[in-house]
Structure 1
C-alpha cells in the first residue's frame, strides 16, 4: 500500500484519501455530519474521526455530536462507530501507541466539565474520564512520555495540565483563551488568544511553556491570531497565522501565513503563504513534508520543509479540516 493522506471534509461530510506521492484521489468515504479531526492507528491500520457538532461551529451550533467514526485505510470503509454518549463535542484525538489507548477531548456536559477520555481502541469503551475543569477543551498536546497532557481551552483563560498517570487535573497555565497546541523539546507551544468573533481578546501570538515548571518562558508575537500549531519530527514548530479582520459581525479573510520556528531556539526560520481558515497541520514521519488544511478554500497546501515552499495544492472538498498521514506498507 502506498503512502497516503486522509483529509476530513467538515462540510462535505466525508474523508478523502490521497496518494501522497501523486496527490491523486484513491478513495472517498461518506461519514456522519460535522467530522472534525483525525488520528491514525498504525497497529490496526485505522483512522479515527471525531464528529463534534451536528451543524455549525464552536460558538454557534444547535446540537453537539457524540460519535467517532472508525475507517479501515486499506478498504476505505467505515468498519464501526464509537458512541461516546453521554459525552459530547469530541474534537481532538491522539493514539498512545505504547499503552494502546485512544485519547479524545470532549466538551462539558450538563453535569460535568470538559475532559480527556481514555478509550479502548478495540471495544470503544471509555476506560477513564479525566476532567480538564473547562467547558471547551479542544486541541491537546501530550508529553513524549505520555504522562501528561495540556488541553487548549477556548473559553477558559488557562491551559489545563492533566496528569494522565494519576487521572487528575494537575494545574493551570494562564493564557487568554487558546487554540492550536503542540509539544516539542520539553516545551508546549500554544496559540492564543481564541479565534472568536470580534476584537482579539489579548495580544496575538504563540506562547511557549516549559513543561518542567509549567510556566510561560517566552512569546512569539504575530500580527493576526494563530489557529493551528504542529511539531514535526525534524525539530520544527509550524504555526498558521489566520489573517482575518472581524468588524461588526463580519469577517474578511486573506490568505494565511505558515510560520516555521526552530523548536529548540524558538527562532523563526521561514514563512510560507497558505490558504484561508487553517485548522489542522500534519507532517510526514521524516519531517520533510507538511500538509496544511485550509477549511475556507477546501484545499490542502503541501509544503517542502527543506526548501520552505509550497509545492502543491490538493483540491480536497468543502471544509477541509482534519488530516492524518498514513505511511506506506513495506515488506
Structure 2
C-alpha cells in the first residue's frame, strides 16, 4: 500500500509540474487576450537588464545577406503622391508600400513595372509596418491638429481596409514584434500601445519617457528599444513581461532606431544634434558617436550588419556609416526633404521617401 501511495504522489507531482510548464509557456498569449493594460513606470528598473547580444533562435538560420556597399548607387527616383513619408517593402521584394501624408492614400507600387494602386484610409497616413508574412500592413494615422488618431489595418493581398483601430494621440512608427503583435509608440501619450494581431484589440500598454517615436526589436524577440525623442532617452523593454528594465540617456532627440541583423549593435539618430550613436545591445554601452548630415531622421542597417544608412532630412542626403570603425564612409544625394527609408528583404535595394520632392529614391546597396 505504501508503495502504491508513493507512486501516486510521484505521478501527481509530475502531472502538476507538467501543467505549470504549459501555463508558463502560454503566458504571453494569455496576456495578449487580457485587455487590461500592463503598466510600467518610466524609470522602472525592476529585474535584471537583458545581457549579451541577441541571436537568432535555433532552427531559423537565414540565407547569408549579400555584401553591402559602402557607397550606394542611385538607380532612379519614382514620382509618387503629394508628400511620401512611411515606407515598407514586401517580403518578396516586389511591392513597395508608401504612406502619403498630404492625402489619405497608401500607395502600392510594383517595383518592376512602377504601376501604382491606392488604398484609401480614414485619416492622414504617417508611418508603416508590415507583418512578417506580408499579409497585413499597419498604418499609423493622425491629423496635424492631433485628431484622427488610429492604426489602419490593410489586407495587402486584397488591397482592402480591414479595420481602423483608435489609438492614443499621435501614433508614430509602428513595429511588428517577432510574435506578430503590433507595438505602437504614442508620441503625445508617453506610452507604447500593443495590439493583438488576431483580435486587433489592445493587449497591453507600457509607460515610457516622453515622447516615443520609434521601436525596434532584437532578432531573438526578447528585447525592445524605444526612442523617446523629447526626453533624450532610450528605453530597454523586456518583451516577455513588458517591463521597462532600463532608461538610458543619449545625445539629444533620438528619432529613429535600428538593430543590426546580428543583434550586436543598436543605432540611434540624434535629430537635433546631427549625430548618430552606436550602442552595444547587451549592456547599452556607447561604442561610437558619429557626426552626419543635418537632422538625421531615419536609419536602416545593411543585411550583413556592416553599414548603417542614415537619412538626413535637413541636408537632402544619405550618410553611410561603417559600423566597425564608426566612420562616415560616403554621402549620397537623394531627393528633397528625405524622411524614412526601407531595405528590401533581399538586402539589395534601399528606398528613401523624399517628402517635399514627392519622390522615392531607389538605391542599390549590395554588390550583387
TM beyond 0.5? yes
Residue 361 (structure 2) pairs with residue 306 (structure 1): no
Higher relative contact order (CA 8 A, sep 6+): 2
Residue 234 (structure 2) pairs with residue 154 (structure 1): no
CA distance, structure 2, for counterparts of residue 118 and residue 174 of structure 1 = 24
Q: CA RMSD in A?
A: 2.1
Q: Is the Cα–Cα contact under 8 Å of residues 67 and 90 in structure 1 kept in the other structure?
A: yes
TM-score, normalisation: structure 1: 0.76
Deviation, structure 1 residue 49: 0.5
Give the secondary structure class of the aligned counterpart of 2:366.
coil
Structure 1 residues 2 and 137, CA gap change in structure 2 (3 angstroms): closer
Residue 194 (structure 2) pairs with residue 118 (structure 1): yes
Larger radius of gyration: 2
Q: How do 1:1-331 residues align onto structure 2 when only pairs under 5 Å count?
A: 3-25=94-116, 27-43=117-133, 45-51=135-141, 53-55=142-144, 62-84=145-167, 87-97=168-178, 99-109=179-189, 114-132=190-208, 134-175=209-250, 176-184=252-260, 185=262, 186-194=264-272, 203-235=273-305, 236-243=307-314, 256-306=316-366
Q: Is the Cα–Cα contact under 8 Å of residues 234 and 286 in structure 1 kept in the other structure?
A: no
Q: Is the Cα–Cα contact under 8 Å of residues 2 and 19 in structure 1 kept in the other structure?
A: no
Deviation, structure 1 residue 265: 4.1
Structure 1 gap ranges (5+): 56-61, 195-202, 245-255, 309-331
Q: Deviations over 1:165-194 (max 9, x none)?
A: 231211122121211211114111111144
Q: Deviations over 1:261-287 (max 9, x none)?
A: 334443434322111222211011111
Structure 1 residues 211 and 42, CA gap change in structure 2 (3 angstroms): closer
Give 4+ residue runs of structure 1 displaced > 4 Å after superposition: none
Q: Is the Cα–Cα contact under 8 Å of residues 173 and 215 in structure 1 kept in the other structure?
A: no
Structure 1 residues 2 and 139, CA gap change in structure 2 (3 angstroms): closer
Structure 1 residues 174 and 102, CA gap change in structure 2 (3 angstroms): same
CA distance, structure 2, for counterparts of residue 220 and residue 179 of structure 1 = 15
Structure 1 residues 223 and 125, CA gap change in structure 2 (3 angstroms): closer
Report how many residues are paired. 273
Give the secondary structure class of the aligned counterpart of 1:243.
coil
Deviation, structure 1 residue 307: 6.3
Q: Is the Cα–Cα contact under 8 Å of residues 102 and 121 in structure 1 kept in the other structure?
A: yes
TM-score, normalisation: structure 2: 0.69
Question: Structure 1 or 2: larger helix share?
Answer: 2
CA distance, structure 2, for counterparts of residue 2 and residue 271 of structure 1 = 25
Deviation, structure 1 residue 16: 0.8
